[in-house]
Amino acid sequence: MEEYWPLFLSVVVVPTFIQLLLLPWFPESPRYLLIEKNNVHATITALKWYRAKCDIQAEIEEMQDEQRSLSSVETLSVWNLLQDDSVRWQVLSVVVINIGMQLSGIDAIWFYTNDIFENAGIPAPEIQYTTAGTGIIEIIAGLIGCFTIEKLGRRHLMIGGFTMMGICSAGITLALILQVKLLFMRYVSVCCVVGIIAGFCIGPAGVPFLITAELFKQSHRPAAYIIGGSLNWLSNFTVGFVFPFLQMSAGSYCYLVFSTVCFSVAVYVYIVIPETKNKTFMEISRLFSKKEAILESQGLFHVDQLKLRKMNGYGGLEHASLEFDSSSSVP
């Protein structure tokens, strides 16, 4: 069957062609139609198509508020976005979750699944069935994430997904080390591979792209997507290129690198990124500003009062209004 691999590779043309045929019948983004095109009628039509059973009035009012706040703001370039202090935590969050998404080791698992199973001692005739099984798990996990994201929230899915991937990456290392003495550990490594794929598809696979849109307003969003997408693909290439050399040099311990990355991203999301479900852009911005206030107040000084002000439509910190406690001292 190996000689037919070009035919199987070309199968992806079919769903791509079907998608191209169907795209003209899909409505534009409601936010784009209102903010960029100022077409209220088309916005209402698109929202009714997307939200068949929901009250769209509140969503339209929220978009109109954003439109008014952006009336004097131009679309930012990537360089200007990187220089905008009012959204520095949002930009950093996009950087962390997009790099972490690829450096989590998921590409190493996908690119070298057969090699991993072979090194784990899985008999060659069984590898193809094991690989097919991981594909089925991937579909199931993706559906679980799709149907639970509005109930559980973006933050919980990312924390849970990265944590699960971190545990399973460490589990692969343990299984590969012990499989010489305990033969059943080879199947533990297979379970860990399945766990990594499932954890990725539940949260980290899709949430970073969704949360990028929710962290920024329309004027900032294009540049944010450019930054996130560029880092995502650059990290994808890096893992695919470096993993074989990492595996040769570190052996079974190479998966601990991915485990460390996964746990680090999970901790960052837990500490820094707020839940964005059912929140407006201004509410999310205020949550980031409060976190910045807490982080700064835990640094060199005690803050009595922090006042929020709007910077380019976002909540920022009015540093000029800081009042210091007379009893506090700076070392």
**pLDDT one-digit tens code per residue, 36-61:** 788 888 888 888 887 776 778 877 88
pLDDT of residue 297: 60
pLDDT of residue 314: 46
Position 321 pLDDT exceeds 50: no
Position 213 pLDDT exceeds 90: no
At 52, list the tokens.
């068949």
Residue percentage of the chain with pLDDT more than 90: 22
pLDDT of residue 263: 96
Position 293 pLDDT exceeds 70: no
pLDDT of residue 243: 85
Place of tokens 């406690």: 325
**pLDDT one-digit tens code per residue, 61-99:** 878 877 777 666 677 888 988 888 888 889 999 999 999
pLDDT of residue 18: 93
Residue percentage of the chain with pLDDT more than 70: 84
Average pLDDT of the residues in 118-132: 76
Position 269 pLDDT exceeds 70: yes
**pLDDT one-digit tens code per residue, 185-199:** 878 888 888 899 999
Position 212 pLDDT exceeds 50: yes
CA of residue 192 relative to chain centroid, distance: 21
DSSP codes, 167-235: HHHHHHHHHHHHTTT-TTHHHHHHHHHHHHHHHHHHTTTTHHHHHHHHHS-TTTHHHHHHHHHHHHHHH
At 192, list the tokens.
């860990």
pLDDT of residue 133: 81
pLDDT of residue 302: 41
Position 246 pLDDT exceeds 60: yes
Position 304 pLDDT exceeds 50: no
Q: Can you tell me the distance from the alpha carbon of 260 to that of 273, in angstroms, rounded to the nearest whole number?
A: 19
pTM over 0.95: no
pLDDT of residue 73: 66
